[in-house]
Structure 1
Amino acid sequence: MTLQSVFVSALQASAKITALAALLPLIVALYRLALHPLARIPGPRAAALSNVWLARRVRDGRMFEVGKEIHKRYGPTVRVGPNEVWSDSAEAFAAIYAAGNGVEKSEFYLATKLNKPIIDWRMNLHWPDTLDFLSEFDTKRYRLQRRLIGPTYQTTNLKKFEHAIDAVITQAIQKLKSLDGAEVDLKQWMHIIAVECLGAVVLSWSPGYIRDGTDGGTSTQSYLGWKRKSVFGLFPFITKISFFSKGLARQFSNLWGITFSTPKNFKPFFPPVYQKSSKRIAAALRADDSSVKDARKDLLADLIQLHKDRPEFTETYLRRLAVTNFGAGHETMCSALTSIMAMIGSHPGTAQKIRTELPDEPRIVSRDDALRMRYTQACIKEAQRLYPVIGMSLSRRAPVGGLSLNGYYIPPGTTVGCNPVSLHRNPEIFGPESDDYLPERWLDADAEAARTMERCNLIWGGGARMCPGRHLAEMVLHKVVPALIKEFDVDIIAMPRHEDVKYYFMAMLTGVKVRFVPVDKKPL
């Protein structure tokens, strides 16, 4: 073979490879659109081709808008990615979130992991056992952790901390009255109250947010963090690589416009939380701890005692959970309080109906009294239904054998889930006018309809992965809401348009401006 023929052969081979490379995207596109096992399922055509369709909407904070409209347009089961399906039916909810059905968390949650994994020679990721409820993939480990902390986070134990919450609420009311009806950002003030309640209950400590009248920008900054995590979660391969390459993570963030900087006056509460909890834990676990007397009776004291009583609740678990109370709680409580107060304030007559249920006493309503206030409870549920804490699908992986969702077969390994915004607005579950704020729907429904509404609810997660701290969060909500409504008329100055609500995986009703006007100063 001559040199010329070798050269010609090389050129021909190169041309074939180039042609094949050029055709490959087209081949992949044709497969995903026409031959893929999910090809029959309706949805945006662009979504079937790539996760870019969904990621762009996540980046822009449009998950509230998408959640409201996507099932109305495409039906109860929708393909939102090459390998991802959402459904908003009661049937799908039961299939996906029922305990013991073999459905596990999807790789989306890699983006929310708190630790860097260890990688073995087969390129498998192994996660340290450090207690990470949101992102834990090991079901056995998760169940053990939940069993260990269960009694500590039950209402029967948490009720002893009501006095700490009462003190925070009293201080918050005094501060809000001192503002003399000035316009404030509702989300920031609900975040202030949420963090102060957590500080009082968990550490017998205050970050000084109520005193200063600001949260130091922490609510805004943490929400930008969820914007970033929500985009990364849709690209698990990139997320895996980014664990070992910060440069790649920065480049990906820059490409998607999800890089953000820390403002000058930023005042985070996590460093003091970590320092204070670490110091107390270290003191309590000294070998000669008989000389160490700590009279504080808070949630951290309970967790320290749990570690002493149950060594399988390791020191690593103890240290992580002390901080997780804040990490998991400050945004969920803030989101819930914001939506509840915004809905009550923007619907005339609602606050007055709540006041008719309030005990005629100067004290702050107890958790037990609040639960007996049926209309107030309906107002709380209805706001959380319309503006849930989670704005994207709580995604899972279809189990071995696959799933059947609304007549479609879903192969094993497919990412499946219900988007709370969509599920909570399904009229087949929540009745007519499901887009409207109607607390009465919880009071007027017959027994079967009420059970369905309660069951098909992702306010605090679904199935076996319900939020471990929901009882603490609910106790705060049930005490704060009646207390604020008793003292103030919540005058809504500005409500965002639905298309302007910025929703990511963690979701908040942003942009609500209010005036807290003391009831005794309201003009007749």
Structure 2
Amino acid sequence: MTTLPAIDALLWILGYTTRAISSVAILLVTWILLSCVYNALLHPLARVPGPWAASVSNIWLAWHVKNGRVAELGKTLHARYGPAVRVGPNEIWFSSKEAFRTIYSSGSGFEKSEFYLATALIRPLQVDGRLRVTWPDELDLLSEGDMKRYRVQRRLIGPVYRPNNVLRHEGSVDLVTKRVVKKLRSLQGNEIDLKEWMHLFVVECLGAVVVSWSPGMLDQESDRGTSVHAYNAWRRKSVLGLFPLVPKLESLSMSIGRAFSVVWGINFDAPPKFRPFFPAVGQKIGQRIKVMKQGQKDARTDIAADLVQLHQDRPEFTEAYLRKMTMTNFGAGHETMASTLTSLMTVLGEHPEIQQQLADELRQLNRYPSYNQADRTPILHAVLKESRRLYPVVSMALPRVVPASGARLHGYDIPAGTTVGCNPVALHRNPDVCGPDPASFEPSRWLGDEQRAKTMDMYSLGWGGGARSCPGRHLAEMMVWKMAVVLIREFEICVEAPAEEEMPSYFLSIMTGVKARFQRREQ
């Protein structure tokens, strides 16, 4: 039987615990309120305009990112607030030439922010007591935080991705595009999901060019859910990157990241019949390395062969680098090129008169032309650049960190450590960059006015910014040009596209929900 003193003691303990919890809760609420007041009114960035909610917490931006509204923010925030917009307590987006030059110029000292912890292929090796990270030496070109190491890596792989070497692989693209034409003809104009089919075309081309292999997607008429899976992964990474403490703590326990994803509702299941292609690519390069080690000759002349030769010629290009760089061709290329082709086909389907002009231009070429004939297709280049201007592959600002010297932009003193970047959607639609009617699809803005075309090229973030621009640009441009030529020349493209605001966009952006018909064009 419980005695009265014991009951009194229990009640006292419960009362004390309740008071302690209440005190902690009050202190926590007070701290949150004081932080909000400081961020909104007393923070060094308090003068920078932007949504009030964005000034107090990253939750505002993360909420919009989670809901796929990144491109919409690029279109609306700067129109409302001006060239500098505060999108977080310690982050500013810009849309101006001045900011582009300051942030992305080579040697500016503006290094990548910790947002890229969420995109890293391998989590940091170590997080110290001050939450500083040690990056593994894994040739992770997107997320590499050590600029000295990144520059060494870029110099090593440079010869493989120079234009002259890239053009050696045109024949592989031609073989795939011939199969693509045959398959599309067999569909007899039936409706397809444009994003999925552009993705499977790209993966087939990458397979042929990089490792002389077909993933079988074209034969199966399906990318096996890989584009849907990858886009869901970008949704998660885009939110996670705004809270870099989480990927740091994930280095200690993956359950932390899973719990965060559950709270934010950014977990996702694999699509039905999902089968990734990366394991097969890894197996292919493993076989190539085995042949290399056995001293056997390999007659294949693909990108993997170029990288194997680089490894043999330059021992500092290690076997680990060789494996990772082969995979990077797919990791960096399959979504970005699919995004470029999807937006290109969509805008052409929505502008049949421009599509016809383009088809007339391409009839001057051979059926499967070499890339050396690209200078004979000014309309195609204008259309490609205009579609990339309006629908860049990246919709969020490319985040960089203000160096120790600080920065001054648009009359604001920006302290060291602030995250800054230009939003590609806003920058590309700045009339100072692109001229009048910035939201309209006008390929003619790239033709005739040479100075304006140079300006738009100069202030484009289509291939990244400054020293961190895409090293595989020439390979991607060659492949996209060759695929576009064949598709436009051989087929009339008709599309049904949802409104742009209905297409989700994250850090990486792809037009989704577009239905297309490829109808054989009269030659």
Q: TM-score range by the shorter chain?
A: over 0.9
Q: Does 2:83 correspond to 1:97?
A: no
- The amino acid that maps onto 1:225 is A
What amino acid maps onto 1:465 in structure 2? Answer: R
Determine whether 1:213 maps to 2:229: no
2:92 is aligned, of 82, 85, 90, to: 85
Counterpart Cα distance in 2 of 1:113 and 1:465: 15
CA distance in 2, matches of 1:327, 1:16: 50
**How far, CA to CA, are the matches of 2:106 and 2:510 in structure 1?**
28
Instruction: Indicate the residue corresponding to 1:438 in structure 2.
Output: 442
Selected match of 1:363 from 348, 364, 367 = 367
SS at match of 1:267: coil
Match of 2:59 in 1: 52
**Aligned pairs (5 A) from 1:69-468:** 69-119=76-126, 122=129, 123-286=131-294, 289=295, 292-360=296-364, 362-447=366-451, 449-468=452-471
- CA-based RMSD: 1.9
Q: Which runs of 5+ in 2 are unaligned?
A: 1-12
C-alpha distance in structure 1 between counterparts of 2:55 and 2:76, whole Å: 18
* Deviations 1:291-342 (CA, angstroms, capped at 9, x unpaired): x121111110000000110111111100100111101110011000101111
Q: Corresponding residue for 1:500?
A: 502
* 8 A Cα contact 2:127 2:248, kept in partner: no
Structure 1 residues 11, 336: closer, same or farther in 2, change over 3 A? closer
Pairing 1:488–2:491 present:
yes
Whole-Å Cα distance in 2 between the matches of residues 182 and 513 of structure 1?
10
TM-score (norm 2): 0.94
Note if contact 1:354-1:482 (Cα within 8 Å) is conserved in structure 2. Answer: no
For residues 5-34 of structure 1, give each alpha carbon's deviation from its aligned partner in whole angstroms, at most 9, with x where no partner exists.
Answer: xx9999999987665443211111111011
> Is residue 64–residue 501 contact of structure 1 (8 Å, CA) maintained in 2?
no
Instruction: For 1:18 and 1:255, locate their aligned partners in 2 and report how far apart those are by CA, in whole Å.
Output: 20
What letter corresponds to residue 333 of structure 1 in structure 2? M
Q: Deviations over 1:125-177 (max 9, x none)?
A: 21211100000010000000000011110111010100100110110011001
**3-state SS in 2 of match to 1:520:** coil
- One-letter identity of the residue aligned with 1:385: R
Provide the residue aligned with 1:25 in structure 2. Answer: 32
> Would you say the 8 A contact 1:359–1:365 is kept in 2?
no
Task: Give the TM-score normalised by the residue count of structure 1.
Answer: 0.94
* Kept in 2: contact 1:107–1:233 (CA 8 A): yes
Q: Partners in 2 of 1:197 and 1:16 — Cα distance?
A: 62
Deviates most, 9-18 or 135-144: 9-18
Q: Which residue of 1 aligns with 2:3?
A: none
The alignment covers a number of residue pairs equal to: 509
Q: Is the 2:228–2:271 contact (alpha carbons within 8 Å) kept by the matching residues of 1?
A: no
Partner of 2:4: none
Instruction: Return the offset for 1:121.
Output: 5.4
**Residue deviations 1:205-247 (CA, integer Å, cap 9, x gap):** 1011111111111111111000000000000011211222122
- 1:4 matched to which residue of 2? none
